[in-house]
A = this chain, B = another copy of it.
Amino acid sequence: MSITLHDVARLAGVSIKTVSNVIHDYPHIRPDTREKVLAAIAELDYRPNLSARGLRSGRSGAIGLIIPDLRNAYFAELADAVMTAAHKRGLYVLIEQMGGADKQAELEILRGPRMQMVDGILYSVLALGQEDAGLLDISTPLVLLGDRIYNGPTDHVTMPNVDGSRLATEHLLSLGRQRILALGAHEDEVIGSAGLRLRGYTEALEAAGVPFRPELVVNVGNWHRFDGAEAMRATMASGISFDGVVAFNDSLALGAMRVVQEAGLRVPDDVAFIGFDDIDETRYSLPTLSTIDPGRAEIAEVAVGWLLERISAEPGSIAPREHETAIRLVQRESTTFA
């Protein structure tokens, strides 16, 4: 049997209301009463029962984080950032992975029993798209992450993808590269990370007066190292020549960089590489990888902050907001000449 408010109240010689007041820092309590109560709490090692508190208050103190896959370094680092931001505010985080990109599965997780007990949800959209925005009008407070749905029915936090990609491409152009591969495109995608990053790429070429060559745009299904390696093998086999690669994430870049080097080309001398995400690994690859830092901590801070605002606000009282982080070009060896 665990210690309850009653036990503390009895030991301190007060009522449970007073104990509750002390716990919640209710201001009007006589100092000596507070002392007595705190002493009793310490002596009994009292811990509030969170289920009871949750039942009574309607709040669990937990938020959900729905991400594609923890084994993906980007999302592991995002989860870490979200947990840090949440703990600062006394919340705990329930992580849920959705695995493959299946709309139905994703919606089920969003509405499923596991997200039942959280006060709000941070959802990094993967399978759903702009056309599904309507499905997100759920009663649980929700903040969207990622680049699949803009101007949806609720808040959205992401990085400026077009700017980031333009920055990355300009960086390679400034090195004198002219035949730059865009690695990681998704056919016919306009919105979504792939679509937006392709747009930034084309904008940068255009601004620099470098002709856009469709054969330099490489479509890739998933964004893992494996896919980057495969796509690069196919590209090289097809005989296309290039002297720079803007990869739409770091994993793709690392996979592709490996294949390029295997083929005897030097990085950055023969081919310069830049990625997206600034995952830890980019600091230790051979060579280290230049990348766009998306401002992960800022994403987490703003998203958790907004989610909390929604949790305490009247439903419907906060109009949907959009936040884009400050990004940063991180130059490393893959674009630096000795």
Chain A interface residues toward B at CB < 8 A: 47-52, 54-55, 60, 69-71, 73, 76-77, 79-80, 83, 92-97, 113-114, 116-117, 225-226, 229, 254-255, 258, 261-262, 280-281, 283-286
Contact = CB atoms under 8 A, between A and B. Distances in A.
Contacts of A77: 70-71
A92 B114 contact: yes
Question: Which secondary structure dominates where chain A touches chain B?
Answer: helix
Contact of A95 (B73, B95, B283, B286): B95
Given A255-B284, A258-B286, A286-B286, A71 B76 contact: yes
17 contacts: A47-B116, A48-B116, A50-B117, A51-B54, A51-B55, A51-B60, A54-B55, A70-B77, A71-B80, A73-B73, A73-B76, A79-B95, A92-B96, A92-B114, A225-B281, A226-B283, A258-B284
A95 B93 contact: yes
B114 A284 contact: no
A253 to B, nearest CB: 11
Contacts of A226: 283-284
A87 B51 CA distance: 21
A285 B281 CA distance: 11
Given A55-B49, A286-B258, A280 B116 contact: no
A281 B281 contact: yes
B280 A71 contact: yes
